[in-house]
Structure 1
C-alpha cells in the first residue's frame, strides 16, 4: 500500500513525500480507477470522478461517468454537484443520444485551480503556471545565480514565483502549490537535495521546507528526469505511450523511466541516473574512475571541451570553482550546433560521435527494461537533436547487443524544452486531484 496520505478533497494539500503517480488510460478506458458507494469516502469518489472527466477531452455525461467509474447514479449526482459548487468542473452543453432526456456534459473548469512548476538546472531555472487542464498560463526563466549558493537560489525562486503568479493574473488562493524538479540525488521523504552534480555548494539542502517557508505555499520535490517523464505521460495519454525512457538533455544527462504508464522512481526516488553506463572503453577517465561513461562524453560541457580541443571553439572562461562557466557553455554549444548545421566536418563528427555513444547507452536501457519508445527532450536538446538523430536510430537498431526484436520509436518531447518544470506542476495537480486507494483506509 502506498504512503500518499488521505484523499484529496478531505484536507488541504500538505507538504508530503511523493510516492505515487496517476496511471494514464490505455485508449480503451483501461487503467481507470473505479469508485465505491460506501459512505465516508466522498473525497476519494470525488477524485475518481474528477480524474475520469480529466481523461475525457470532450467531457462526460453523468451517465457515462457512472459507467466508467462504477459509482451509482446517486453518488455521481452528489459528487458532480460538489465539483460544480467548487468550481472544478462546468456544464458545457447537452447531447441527445436516443430517446430520453438529453445528457449534460461535464468538463474540467481550467480556471478552477492552478499549480506552479519549477525546474532547477545548474544553468537556468524555469518556472511555469499550469491551469487545471495542464495548459501553461505563464512562463519565465532566470539564470541560476553564478555563486550557486542555496539561500540565494531559494530567494530568487520565491521572488520569481511571486512575480509569475502576479503577472499571470491568477487568483493566488487557487494556487494549489509548487512542484520542484531538481537534479538528483534527492531525499524525497525529507524534501532534501543531497549532492547534485555541477552545484558544488548544494549539499543536504532542505529545499522543500525552505521554499515553502519563503512562498507560503505547499511544495513537492521530485527528481528532474522523473518529472519530465511524468509530463510526457500527462500530455501523451492518448497516443498509447506506455513503456519508454525519457532521455533528458540539459546541463547534465539522465533518463526518466516509465513502465506500464507508471513512472519508475526506485527505492529512494532516484532512479534514472544512466550517466555512468560505459560506452567507450578507451575513452576519457570519468570522475567515477572508469573510462568512457556516457554522461562524461555527451553533456554540453564535454561537447564544448571536444570542440575546443579540435580547434573549433575558443576556451570558455572558468568560474571560481575552476569549472567552465555555464553561460559560456550554453553559447558555445549553440555555436557548435551551428557549425555542424552548416556542414563543418569536425563539428559534425563531434555530434555524430555523441549520437553513437548515446545509442550504446540506450541499447543497455532498452535491453534491461524491454522498452519500445525513446523520447528526447530537455533545455538543450534542440540545439543538437538534428545531428544526433541523423545517426542514433540506426546505431541503436543495428546494434548486435540489442535484444528485443520489436520495433523502437524515437520521438521528440510532446512538451518541449520546459518539460521538467511542466512535470513538476503536473505532480501538484496529480497529488491534489488524482484518486489514491490509500484514501479508503480507515484512520483510528
Structure 2
C-alpha cells in the first residue's frame, strides 16, 4: 500500500485500528460499544485488519458468563514508518513501528550550507542502512515523514522561507526524496509532527484539544483537535515564536525565551563579570551556549538558573495564551531545547496554567514533557505517515 492508497481506507477500519492500538487487548464487543458501529461492521473491519496482518487475536480471553470473548491486539511490526527531521545542525532519522515505538535511529550532519541534492542522496543512503540494520523489509515501510524548519508549501513539497536554511528555499524537497528512495513522502513542520507523534503514541489518549510546544532553534505549536491536525489556510499554523509579548522587555517569544536569547543574555552577564560555572563556546555558537546554560542550571548555578527561569516564564506566558485560546486539555513540551532543563520549563508552564487557565472550573490541562524530547519531530514524522496510511483522518483546516 502507498500513502495515496491509504485514503481509500474506510472510516470504520481506521477507528477500529486506533482503538486497538491505544486500548489493546480489547474484544470485538468492546469495539462495538466504543464506536457505536454494528457487530457486523466491526467484524468486517477486524477481519480486514487481520488479513492485512495489522491485528492479531491473542491467547487472552474475557469471560462474562457466556461465550469467552477473544481479545485483539496490534501487530506492531506489520507496518513501519520512516521519519526524517531535516535541520541546519543535525538531521535525525528514525524507524518506528505501527505502535509508534522507535525501532532504530540515526543522525547525519546538518543541512545548513550543503547542496540540497547531496543531502537528499545522503538521507536516502542512511535510510537504507537503517532498514538493513533493523532487518526490516522495505515492503513493510508505508512511507517517509519529512519535517523541515520554516514556512512550507505542502502542495509543492518545498520550503518557502527558512532563517537557518536559506539555500533550501524553493528546492523540491519532497519530490527529490521520493525519487531518491522510491517511497512516498509527506512533508510537514516540526511542531505539527511532534504533536501527532504524541497522539499516535497514546500518551494523550482521550485528549480533545491538544497542543505540542516545540522548541528547537525556533518555537512552534502543533495543534491536534480530536485526533486531527489543525492546519489553517496554508498549513503554516503555529509559529508561536513570532507572537509579540508586551511589557518591560517587549519582543517576540523567540526574542525573549528562545535559545538565541538565553545564550546572548548569558554572554552579556559573563562579560560584565557575573560569577558563574557556565562555560560558553569559543565561537559563540548559540545552541552550544544554550546547552551550557541549561546544564549549569540543573547543576545549581545561580546565574544559569535565573536565565532559564526567565526564559521559562516567557514561554509560560505564550503557553497560557494558547491554552486559553484553544481551550486545551493537554499540552506537551517537545524539542531539543528541552533536553537538559525541560523539567524547569515544565514546572513554569504547569504552574502558570494551573494558576490562570480560564476554564479551570470546568477542566484542567495535562502538561508534560514529550516521551521523545530531543527527537520528537523525527518520531512524529514517522507517526504522521503511519497515521495517514493506517488510520487517515480529515485534517482540520486543510484546503
TM-score, normalization: structure 2?
0.85
Equivalent of 1:375 in 313, 332, 342: 332
Moved more, 68-77 or 116-125: 68-77
Q: How does 1:338-377 map to 2 (within 5 A)?
A: 338-377=295-334
Corresponding residue for residue 195 of structure 1: 161
Corresponding residue for residue 27 of structure 2: 60
- Change in Cα spacing, 1:79 to 1:337, as seen in structure 2 (3 Å) is closer
- Change in Cα spacing, 1:394 to 1:224, as seen in structure 2 (3 Å) is same
Deviation at 1:313? 4.6
Equivalent of 1:258 in 224, 227, 230: 224
In the alignment, structure 1 residue 154 sits paired with structure 2 residue 120: yes
- Change in Cα spacing, 1:433 to 1:236, as seen in structure 2 (3 Å) is closer
Q: Which residues of structure 1 form unaligned runs of 5+? A: 1-10, 21-40, 284-290, 318-323, 439-444
Q: Would the aligned equivalents of 1:231 and 1:415 in 2 still touch at CA under 8 Å?
A: no
The Cα offsets for residues 16-73 of structure 1, whole Å up to 9 and x where unpaired, read as 9xxx9xxxxxxxxxxxxxxxxxxxx885554444344324321323x44445455555
Equivalent of 2:253 in 278, 294, 313: 294
Q: Which residues of structure 2 form unaligned runs of 5+? A: 271-277
In the alignment, structure 1 residue 214 sits paired with structure 2 residue 214: no
- Change in Cα spacing, 1:151 to 1:80, as seen in structure 2 (3 Å) is same
Name the structure where helix makes up a greater proportion of residues: 2
Q: Would the aligned equivalents of 1:125 and 1:141 in 2 still touch at CA under 8 Å?
A: yes
Partners of 1:172 and 1:426 lie apart in 2 by 17
In the alignment, structure 1 residue 14 sits paired with structure 2 residue 13: no
In the alignment, structure 1 residue 425 sits paired with structure 2 residue 398: no
In the alignment, structure 1 residue 308 sits paired with structure 2 residue 275: no
The Cα offsets for residues 368-394 of structure 1, whole Å up to 9 and x where unpaired, read as 223344321211202222443454444
Q: Would the aligned equivalents of 1:231 and 1:426 in 2 still touch at CA under 8 Å?
A: yes
Partners of 1:42 and 1:143 lie apart in 2 by 38
Deviation at 1:252? 1.6
| Corresponding pairs, count | 386
Deviation at 1:123? 2.1
What is the root-mean-square deviation of aligned Cα atoms in Å?
A: 3.0
Q: Would the aligned equivalents of 2:80 and 2:141 in 1 still touch at CA under 8 Å?
A: yes
Partners of 2:191 and 2:125 lie apart in 1 by 25
In the alignment, structure 1 residue 120 sits paired with structure 2 residue 110: no
